[in-house]
A and B are shown apart, each in its own frame.
Chain A
């Protein structure tokens, strides 16, 4: 993350400095001319520095390009590694590491037909959906109760939930393992479906609490007078208004579950019950033999669902981060 930021911010600063010296005079006279011809243009003058094309190239496009490059390069690397024949993988002397000659689907075939990868994918999907659904339902109730029912000690419960979120999974997995064994769900999807909410619920509850808080209290009072019960208020007024919040909580939960590693590593043993992150790492790395091609193919295919999910809901997601219900 940090490297991304520094890499993208320094060129943009350099770009800004350059434009100050080279293009500012031209823009200034342009603005002045326009101001002279009509007295009404000055509210657009603030954005006119974006007008000229070369300027925009340097101040907007270039930093954006750098940013996109830094973000997408790992994916590119994954993609070309996934289709590179094995003999090219480490032979940088004869083959460019950035390019593929004679791409092959062997790795992908191997992954899909000779490992239990399809199971992993299905497991991950199943577990993520189930854990997300459970967590969302629990969080909606928790957040509503803490935020709106204002029972005695609701603040402390809220704080407690937040603290629970801060307990690292690497500590929590020991007591959880005990419970998983006692419940007899070790090495099954249920083990993950029931343990993921331990970190998903606190997170989603906090996100939703903030969201519920932004919905005017008057709306609820109005619904009360209109004859709605608490349950109806939640279902018919609050939740429809919280859809962006629900979606972002859902996306976050789904992503966290999808990428979860520690619990999936410890609570699952058999190959066909593994999830993608664990499976790829434990089954495709045999002592010191790395199946790079399949590994990368597995990682790439494994990240697709999350990418698709994000791209579908990006609007909601952004709106829930930047603001809430406006009347």
Chain B
């Protein structure tokens, strides 16, 4: 187990920069999820930690050792690849014991550790099979087994669940989480799925276009997104962004171009009179006779909840109601945000106000 410190790390492929100065502190035993849209540089960063990509600038430390020039095999890390990368010509047992065998560990020790890992992951009866004889979920587990057999300082996962079907993904998510609670090994986990990030992480790093947008605990990101990108990325369905201005006529309110007035929790300094973006999560909208009148456009009931798209002037807002309301398109309803659950962003920079 070890800390991982990423300091001002940059990466360029040829003359194309893809990572522009990233700083992340990963504590001992922490489960950190790197999340972001496709192409934002998550895999690149992970591969730099693994030593599969060289580091163009900055510094990566594992434990107290700068590993910039250290080859992967000496970094004491284990990595699980998206396509599992199981060796097709080796049995499950041999796959799991391969790294120990390379280290010339005694046979008895290899067997003991492979058996232990297989026991943890429920693979004991599959040790003699070849990877092609396994299901996707089993392969995934073997890939994980291969990592835990080594008892490394750091686990690196690159979208390990993206090849599984939705149900299995949820199950494996829990399993990985349990495994982490049991082994307490520092873990860096890459995904583009924000739900995975929210459910698994101790700490989420949201990346976008090669920069870190925000680092924080899942609920902090949800409650206090630092900017519009994070606000839109975390949470599902994603946050509504309403254009308008902050005005103070008696009480402070956010006024849309069509004249609808949304209440503000607080009035940030210097925001008055300026264009801004009002952020409101669908699940934080409630029916309120005193609220803003809106016209219903689409109603999508899912059983447990109802998603309604409503229109305010030219802008559409998604609302999620947990109650069984009878809503019909064309109707007008009145809505208001739950107090304390609104966000305000700068219209130009997208930063939280």
Q: What residues make up the interface of A, taking CB atoms closer than 8 Å to B? A: 216, 218-219, 221-229, 232, 236-237, 240-241, 325-327
Q: Which B residues are in CB contact (< 8 Å) with A225?
A: 50-52, 72-73, 77-79
Task: Say whether B88 contacts A241, CB under 8 Å.
Answer: yes
Q: Which A residues lie within 8 Å of B73 (CB)?
A: 224-229
Known: A227-B73, A228-B73, A327-B132. A222 touches B102 (CB 8 A): no
CB-nearest residue of chain B to A221? B52
Q: Mark B79-96, 1 if CB is under 8 A from A, else 0.
A: 101011111110000000
What chain A residues lie within 8 Å of B85 (beta carbons)?
216, 218-219, 221-222
Q: Is B103 an interface residue (CB 8 A)?
A: yes
A-B pairs with lowest CB-CB distance, top 9: A226-B99, A227-B73, A222-B85, A218-B85, A240-B89, A227-B102, A225-B79, A224-B72, A225-B72
Which of B51, B98, B146 has the most chain A CB atoms inside 10 A of its CB?
A: B98
A155 to chain B, nearest CB (A): 16
Q: Return the chain B residue nearest A241 by Cβ.
A: B89
B210 within 8 A of A: no
Residues of A within 8 A of B79 (CB): 221-222, 225
A212 to chain B, nearest CB (A): 14
CA distance A297 to B279 in the complex (A): 91
Q: Is the CB of B132 within 8 A of A237?
A: no
State whether the Cβ of B225 lies closer than 8 Å to any Cβ in chain A. no
Judge whether A327 and B131 touch: CB under 8 Å: yes
- A218 and B103 within 8 A (CB): no
Quote the shortest CB–CB distance from B14 to chain A (angstroms). Answer: 13
Number of A-B pairs, beta carbon distance below 8 Å: 61
Q: Is the CB of B131 within 8 A of A226?
A: no
| Cβ contact within 8 Å between B81 and A227 | no
Assembled-state Cα–Cα distance A65/B84 (Å): 47
Nearest to B139 among chain A residues (CB) is A327
Determine if B88 and A227 form an interchain contact, defined as CB atoms under 8 angstroms apart: no
**Set A224, A232, A326: member contacting B52, Cβ < 8 A:** A224
Question: Which residues from B are CB-within-8-Å of A232?
Answer: 102
Complex formed: what's the CA distance from A291 to B72 in Å? 67
Chain B 128-141 near chain A by CB (<8 Å), digits 1 or 0: 00011000000000
B102 touching A326, Cβ below 8 Å: no
Q: Which residues does chain B contribute within 8 Å of A218, judged by CB atoms?
A: 81, 83, 85
B132 partner residues in chain A, CB cutoff 8 A: 326-327
Nearest chain A residue, comparing its CB with the CB of B81 = A218
Nearest B residue to A218, CB-CB:
B85
Of A223, A225, A232, most B-chain CB atoms within 10 Å: A225
Q: How far is the CB of A296 from chain B (nearest CB, A)?
A: 44
Q: How far is the CA of A224 from the CA of B78 in the complex (A)?
A: 10
Instruction: Say which residue of B71, B84, B98 sits within 8 Å of A226 (CB atoms).
Output: B98
Contact residues in A for B71 (Cβ distance below 8 Å): 224
Closest B residue, CB atoms, query A227: B73
The CA of A325 and the CA of B83, in the complex, are separated in Å by: 14
Q: How far is the CA of A229 from the CA of B81 in the complex (A)?
A: 19
- B60 CB to nearest chain A CB (Å): 15
Q: How far is the CA of A325 from the CA of B52 in the complex (A)?
A: 23
Nearest opposing residue in chain A for B50, CB measure: A225
The answer for the CA separation of A251 and B84 in the assembled complex, in Å, is 33
How far, in whole Å, are A251 and B132 apart by their CA atoms in the complex?
28
B-chain residues with CB within 8 Å of residue A227 when the two chains form the complex: 72-73, 99, 102-103
**B78 / chain A contacts, CB cutoff of 8 Å:** 225-226
Q: Are B87 and A219 in contact (CB under 8 A)?
A: yes
Supply 26 A–B pairs (Cβ within 8 Å), ascending by A.
A218-B83, A219-B85, A222-B79, A223-B87, A223-B98, A224-B52, A224-B71, A225-B50, A225-B51, A225-B72, A225-B73, A225-B77, A225-B78, A226-B78, A226-B98, A226-B99, A227-B73, A227-B103, A229-B73, A240-B89, A241-B88, A241-B89, A325-B88, A327-B84, A327-B86, A327-B132
CB-CB < 8 A to A228: which residues of B? Answer: 73, 102
Contacts of B102 in A (CB 8 A): 226-228, 232
- Shortest distance in angstroms between A143's beta carbon and chain B's nearest beta carbon? 18
Extra contacts besides A216-B83, A216-B85, A218-B83 (10): CB < 8 Å = A224-B71, A224-B72, A224-B73, A225-B51, A226-B146, A227-B103, A232-B102, A236-B98, A237-B87, A241-B87
A237 vs B90: C-alpha distance when bound (angstroms)? 9
User: Which chain B residues numbered 118 to 171 have a C-beta less than 8 Å away from chain A?
Assistant: 131-132, 146, 150
Question: When chains A and B are docked, how far (Å) is the Cα of A236 from the Cα of B97?
Answer: 13
Residue of B nearest to A220 (CB): B85
Min C-beta distance of A99 to chain B, whole Å? 52
B321 to chain A minimum Cβ distance, whole angstroms, is: 44
Query: Within 8 Å CB of B84, what residues of A?
Result: 327
Chain A residue with minimal CB distance to B71? A224
* Closest residue on chain B to residue A215 by CB atoms: B88
Q: How far is the CA of A223 from the CA of B79 in the complex (A)?
A: 10
How would residues 249 to 290 of chain B score, 1 for a CB under 8 Å from any chain A CB and 0 otherwise? Answer: 000000000000000000000000000000000000000000
Looking across the interface, which residue of chain B has its beta carbon closest to that of A237? Answer: B87
Nearest CB to that of A229 among chain B residues? B73
Measured between C-beta atoms, what is the minimum distance from A40 to chain B in Å?
A: 25
- Minimum CB–CB distance for A245 against chain B, Å: 13
Interchain nearest-CB distance for A244 vs B (Å)? 11
CB contacts (< 8 Å) of A219 on chain B: these are 85, 87
Q: A237 to chain B: which residues have CB within 8 Å? A: 87
